[in-house]
Amino acid sequence: MSAKPFVCVNPASANGRTGERWSELAGALRAAIGDFEVGMTRGPREAGDLVRKAIRDGADFIVSVGGDGTHNEVVQGFFDPQLPDVPLRAGITLGIVPTGTGGDFRRTLGLSREALEAIQQLGGPRRTADVGRLTYTAHAGHTSQAYFINIGSFGMSGLVDKIVNESTKALGGKMSFLLGVGRASLQYKNQPVRLRLDDGPALERTVNNVAVANARYYGGGMKIAPDADFGDGVFDVVVVGDLNTFEMARGLKKIYDGTHVDGSNPKIEVYRARRVHAEPAQPGQSVLIDMDGEQPGRLPATFEILPGAIRLVTGPEANG
């Protein structure tokens, strides 16, 4: 069995720039963590299989090199699909090297946006972290399951993901998502949904978006859940209600700096829960899901917290 760190690389991230500079990154990684095994992904969803095999072969330190979508796929490999409640092995640590366009998760972890600097931070403090488990309706209609480390959401964010992931990200994360938000706002109509938080009563809301947050940022830098803590055992659930296009545009700056939850807008509500079930309030309606920047399917869906499931390497400015 190998005890070497395993580095999972998405060479296609950042429009292929990760692959182009892999030699430079590999040299920096060897200097920082010593000898390691490496797996290069060749297509979607391969990262989970590579990481799962590495953990079964004995690796206890996994490094994900890519964007937020890559980090999400890597987290899938920490779990056995046949035993979805617990990780393959206790105490496995995940470190991330952000080379993609969004970089939302690294913001919460307090890591540098520069890959070489983030590599130097891989020796930083380890913190126990929760993982979200999402049971959702796939586009084909069957029930599927996946994990998320950052934020799961639904509503306009699902449409934004669809638009952004079908477009070039050459302009960078923030601009790509802003353009996606602009295009989505012209197409999206606020949708009625039914929510149940833990064992509480059903809540019916017409929403622009609902974020089920394990961490703080999504959408290329939006601080949607400014008080979320990835190790506290609960989600921060931010319900952005029936805002019109003008209200969304006017409030966008507040979402980026995290002041939208100050209580001044009654259409924005914040809850905490370990389990969130959501479904369309109208039959036949398609409410799209966002999961760490990916668009896997639609409601009905259930979000559940798995407390302390993994360990994360954090930087000097980690903020929960």
What residues are labeled active site? 68
The SS3 call for residue 55 is: helix
d(CA 163, CA 186): 12
Cβ-contact 194, 224 below 8 angstroms: no
Structure-token pair, residue 220: 């290329």
Say which residues have a Cβ less than 8 Å from residue 277's Cβ, sequence separation at least 6. Answer: 195, 196, 300, 301, 302, 303
d(CA 82, CA 194): 29
What length is written for the chain?
320
Residue matched to tokens 């760190």 = 5
Distance of CA 39 to the CA centre of its chain: 21
Burial 69-92 (b: 16+ CB within 10 A, else e): bbbbbbbbbbbeeeeeeebeeeeb
Cβ-contact 303, 114 below 8 angstroms: no
d(CA 94, CA 45): 18
Beta strands in the chain (DSSP E): 6-9, 37-40, 61-66, 79-80, 83-87, 93-98, 126-138, 143-148, 151-155, 191-197, 202-207, 209-213, 235-240, 268-273, 275-280, 289-291, 297-313
Structure-token pair, residue 8: 């999972």
